[in-house]
Amino acid sequence: MNLKPEDLKKISEKMEASTNLRSGAGRAKITVHMGTCGIATGARDIMKAFLDELEASGQKDILFTTTGCAGLCSHEPMATIEIQGESPVKYVHLTKEKVKTIFKEHVMNGKIVEESALGRGSERVG
Partner 1 sequence: MQEYRMHLMLCAGTGCVSNRAFDIEKAFNRELEKHNLQDEIQVVDTGCQGFCERGPIMIVQPGDIFYEMLEEKDIPYLVEEHFLKGRPVEKHMYVPKEGDDPIPKLSDIGFFKKQKLIALANRGLIDPENIDEYIGREGYSALAKALTEMTPEEIIKEVKDSGLRGRGGGGFSTGMKWGFAKNSPGDEKYIICNADEGDPGAFMDRSIVESDPHVILEGMAIGAYAIGASHGFIYVRGEYPLAVERIYKAIKDARTYGLLGDDIFGTGFEFDVSVNRGAGAFVCGEETSLIASLEGNMPEPRVRPPYPAVAGYMGKPTNINNVETWANIRHIINRGATWYSSIGTETSKGTKVFSLVGKVNNTGLVEVPMGISVRDIIFDIGGGVMNGKKFKAVQTGGPSGGCIPESLLDTPVGYDTFAKIGSIVGSGGMIVMDEDNCMVEVARYFLAFTQQESCGKCTPCREGTRHMLDILTRITEGKGKEEDIDILLEMSELIGSTSLCALGATAPNPVLTTLKYFRDEYDAHIKEGRCPAKECKSLIQYTILADKCTGCTLCARDCPVDAISGERKGIHIIDPEVCVKCGICKAVCNFDAVRIES
Contacts with partner 1 by CB under 8 A lie at 1-5, 8, 11-12, 14-19, 21-24, 29, 32-36, 38-39, 47, 51, 54-55, 63-69
Rounded to whole angstroms, how far apart are CA atoms 12 and 81? 26
- Shorter beta-carbon distance to partner 1: residue 58 or 115: 58
Gap between the Cα atoms of 37 and 76, Å rounded:
7
Q: Quote the least distance from Cβ 108 to partner 1, whole Å.
A: 17
User: Residues 6 or more apart from 34 whose CB is under 8 A from it?
Assistant: 43, 44, 47, 66, 67, 68
Nearer to partner 1, 56 or 110 (CB): 56
40 or 111: whose CB is closer to partner 1?
A: 40
